Amino acid sequence: MKYFALTGALFIGLILAPLAVAQQELYRPPLGDIMGKIQLRHIKLWFAGKLGNWELATYEVDEIKASLETAADLYRGIPAELVTNTADPIHAIMAAIEAKDGAAFAKGYGDLTIACNACHQGIGRSFIVIQTPTASPFTDQSFSPPKR
């Protein structure tokens, strides 16, 4: 009886240990994938702000902030100042949205884009160059404020 309990425990351990490892892997998305999402939000943020859909702009900038925090959390090798560089532009964008100030929004957006590229350069990825988008690839989403 004791023997069975012991092998049972061992068996469960053998099954669970690799599962736990696999789970940890599951919860660490590749940095390139996190960045891909940030890129989508960076594009959407631009058109939301440009068209004055301030609620959507708030949503997108919050998502960018959260994704950058996740990236810094999961990838501790990234130098801290390259992450904190993005904080001031993000706050400036949030203040511009709050004030519904299009010019301040565009300025903050430009500064955020500079911070994106500063990290890419600082981390040996200077070939990844982000710019202000010229057209939305999201033809299924309207960025204008909803008609109420």
Q: Which residues contact 124 (CB under 8 A, 6 or more apart)?
A: none
Residue 74 or 82 with smaller CB distance to ligand HEC: 82
Q: Which is nearer to ligand HEC, 56 or 115 (CB)?
A: 115
Using rule CB under 6 A, residue 92 touches ligand HEC: no
What is the DSSP code string of 23-85? Answer: HHHHTS--HHHHHHHHHHHHHHHHHHHHTT-HHHHHHHHHHHHHHHHHHHHH-TTS-HHHHHT
Measured distance CA(63)–CA(55) in Å, rounded: 13
Q: Is residue 130 involved in binding ligand HEC (CB under 6 A)?
A: yes
Q: Is 137 in the site for ligand HEC (CB under 6 A)?
A: no
CB 115 within 8 A of CB 86: yes
Contact range with ligand HEC by CB under 6 A, out of 9-17, 18-26, 82-90, 134-142: 82-90
Residue among 38, 56, 61, 92 that touches ligand HEC (CB under 6 A)? 38
In the numeric block, which tokens belong to residue 78?
A: 């990234």
Which residue among 37, 39, 59, 102 contacts ligand HEC (CB under 6 A)? Answer: 39
Please tell me the distance from the alpha carbon of residue 119 to that of residue 98, in angstroms, as a whole number: 27
Whose Cβ is closer to ligand HEC: residue 7's or residue 132's? 132
Q: Select the residue interacting with ligand HEC from 102, 120, 136, 142 (CB under 6 A).
A: 120
